[in-house]
């Protein structure tokens, strides 16, 4: 199956996407992860993306569409994939439909994770990660054992992503509302949208997500 995870920053797309892809044997394509990795390696793509990412703004449609066209056409994507963080604009969604149609493929489902803004801000500002293993923590909902260091790397202090700083968080949510939220209607019109409540514990959200996906499969 080919699935899109749609929803605001901080709703849990990364966590849920990783689990879903892992359980089903599908490829997880997280565009934010790919860009952060490219930035860390200082590749051309990474350097181009970094400025926008740090400011909480979107990277250009052309760049993102090329990236996803390439990644979804590789052999490990043929069994199915979960897109986390793409599409983020209507032109990206149209390009995705177009590239799949050219391969006689289509999307099977769009899972829309919803959460109110106060909770999004709380989750994003509490988010921390281990710079070594990338394990995710949250000082409010899932802190590490001592609240400061990684459980698996006791000498390593957890860090906050630059784009999780409070001012940038506000901008990312605004950018989501202006540029990405219109995709809800886009996919609703295509009868592909399945709404999932993103509040509650990750296990409960995952159960709701799986139920929505089962509905889409039958």
Q: Which of 19, 36, 127, 128 is catalytic?
A: 127
Q: Which of 2, 19, 88, 123 is catalytic?
A: 88
Tell me which of 12, 17, 32, 198 binds ligand AMP, using CB under 6 A: 32
Q: Which of 13, 19, 36, 123 is catalytic?
A: 13
Residue carrying the six token digits 């609703």 = 188
Q: Which range in 21-29, 52-60, 100-108, 183-191 contacts ligand AMP by CB under 6 A?
A: 52-60
Is 24 one of the catalytic residues? no
Least separation in angstroms between residue 140's CB and ligand AMP is: 19
Is 161 one of the catalytic residues? yes
The answer to whether residue 113 forms part of the interface with ligand AMP (CB under 6 A) is no
The smaller minimum CB distance to ligand AMP, of residues 85 and 198, is found at 85
Which tokens is 7 given?
């929803």
CA-CA distance, 163 to 78, in Å (whole number)? 32
Tell me which of 53, 124, 205, 213 binds ligand AMP, using CB under 6 A: 53
Q: Which range in 16-24, 81-89, 143-151, 205-213 contacts ligand AMP by CB under 6 A?
A: 81-89
Q: Are 8 and 173 in contact (CB under 8 A)?
A: yes
Which helix or strand (DSSP H or E) is residue 129 part of? strand 127-129
Cβ neighbours, 10 Å, residue 64: 23
CA-CA distance, 111 to 113, in Å (whole number)? 6
CA-CA distance, 199 to 191, in Å (whole number)? 24
From residue 58, give the alpha-carbon distance in Å to each of 87, 175, 199: 11, 8, 25
Least separation in angstroms between residue 182's CB and ligand AMP is: 14
Helix, strand, or coil (residue 114): strand
Which residue numbers are catalytic? 13, 88, 127, 161, 172
Question: Which residues contact ligand AMP by CB under 6 A?
Answer: 9, 31-32, 35, 52-53, 56-59, 64, 85-86, 88, 92, 163, 172
């Amino acid at each position: 199956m080919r699935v899109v995870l749609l929803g605001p920053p901080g709703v849990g797309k990364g966590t849920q996407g990783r689990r879903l892809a892992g359980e089903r044997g599908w490829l997880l394509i997280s565009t934010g992860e790919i860009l952060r990795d490219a930035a860390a390696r200082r590749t051309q793509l990474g350097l181009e993306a970094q400025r926008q990412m740090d400011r909480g703004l979107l990277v250009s449609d052309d760049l993102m569409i090329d990236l996803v066209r390439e990644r979804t056409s590789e052999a490990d994507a043929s069994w199915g994939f979960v897109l986390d963080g793409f599409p983020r604009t209507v032109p990206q969604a149209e390009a995705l439909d177009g590239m799949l149609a050219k391969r006689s493929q289509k999307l099977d489902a769009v899972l829309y994770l919803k959460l109110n803004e106060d909770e999004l801000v709380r989750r994003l500002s509490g988010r921390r990660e281990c710079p070594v293993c990338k394990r995710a923590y949250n000082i409010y909902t899932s802190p590490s054992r001592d609240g400061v260091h990684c459980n698996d790397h006791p000498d390593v202090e957890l860090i906050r992503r630059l784009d999780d700083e409070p001012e940038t968080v506000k901008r990312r949510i605004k950018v989501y509302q202006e540029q990405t939220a219109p995709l809800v209607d886009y996919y609703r019109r295509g009868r592909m949208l399945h709404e999932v409540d993103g509040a509650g514990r990750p296990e409960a959200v995952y159960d709701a997500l799986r139920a929505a996906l089962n509905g889409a499969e039958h």
